[in-house]
Amino acid sequence: MTALVLQKLYHWFDSYTECFLLEYPHYHDNLKLKKEHSLRVCSIIRRLASGTGLDGDQAASAEIAALLHDVGRFRQYAEYGTFSDAASEDHGSLSVSVIDGEGLLRECRPETRDTIRFAVQYHNKAAIPHSGDDITLHIAKLLRDADKIDIWHVVTEHYLAGDAAGIASMLDLPDNDEISPRICDDIRAGTIARMEHLQSCNDLKLLQMAWVYDINFPESFKVIQEKGYIDILRDSLPDRPEVREIYHSIMSHVSSRTQR
């Protein structure tokens, strides 16, 4: 049943996003970026689901969550002209609102519906609240991993092309040489840096490196190593002692988690 719902939702997603692309041509490139991101996250989560032992309806539920996790982004950008949650609305909550408003999960079993809504709601939060359902928690973690992996893909392409300013502008951050000591302190503590401590594009890059501390599965770490995302981020930053220190600490973490 869930696999059939998934196929219907791919058709719905294509129609829904195309309406925004046609209605808001001046936002076409940014909206298209989010559509393509969602489809890539679906592809990534299929690999991660398989690599962590999910199949059948559970794997289909994870893919539905991936397909719909950013569906609120289209309304967000159309209404506010930004992807900054701080300057608009939380996009995880917006996505759940679209899911409920459109009745997208009405054909799913109640427990499946709850799992997907939970994963979408918390895919962008600082942490996932406790859930007594192991499968729900597993799928929520899969989505968080898959989402970060593709965001790394997107931002590292920009950094390799020398377009750090384009990424920074999405969050209204200056592209200068500054590095915030507070960001470095967050990361030295082995945590994801706090968004409110961001003061520059370099801070954002360090925060993106530190996402590894919120990656959950060995399969996810394998992808990170295969793609070389942390090296690309390191190479886009100034060659400073604090950057080298953070890089080595993060790579040690990635190596240890890949071997589990």
Question: What is the 3-state secondary structure of 193-214?
Answer: CCHHHCCCHHHHHHHHHHHHHH
Tokens of 120: 């979408």
What is the helix, strand, coil percentage profile of the chain, to 5? 75, 0, 25
What pLDDT, on the 0 to 100 scale, is given for residue 260?
62
What are φ and ψ of residue 238, in 5° steps? -60, 150
Higher pLDDT among residues 55 and 98, named by residue: 98
Same domain, 134 and 188: no
What DSSP letter does each residue of 92-160 carry, written as one string?
A: HHHHHHHHHHHTTTTTS-HHHHHHHHHHHHHTTSSSPPP-S-HHHHHHHHHHHHHHHHHHHHHHHHHHH
Same domain, 142 and 170: no
Q: What is the pLDDT of residues 116-152, one digit of tens each?
A: 999 999 999 988 998 778 999 999 999 999 999 999 9
Question: What average pLDDT does the segment 165-179 reach?
Answer: 78
Provide, rounded to the nearest whole percent, the portion of the chain with pLDDT above 90.
78
User: What is the band of 92 on the pLDDT scale with cuts at 50, 70, 90?
Assistant: very high
Domain count, the chain: 2
Same domain, 138 and 178: no
Question: Is it the case that residue 75 has pLDDT exceeding 70?
Answer: yes
Same domain, 139 and 185: no
Residue 154 lies in a domain: no
- For 201, the domain range is 162-258
Question: What average pLDDT does the segment 159-184 reach?
Answer: 82
Question: Is it the case that residue 1 has pLDDT exceeding 90?
Answer: no
Residue 153 lies in a domain: no
Question: What average pLDDT does the segment 179-206 reach?
Answer: 88
Same domain, 29 and 108: yes
The chain-wide mean pLDDT, for the chain, equals: 93
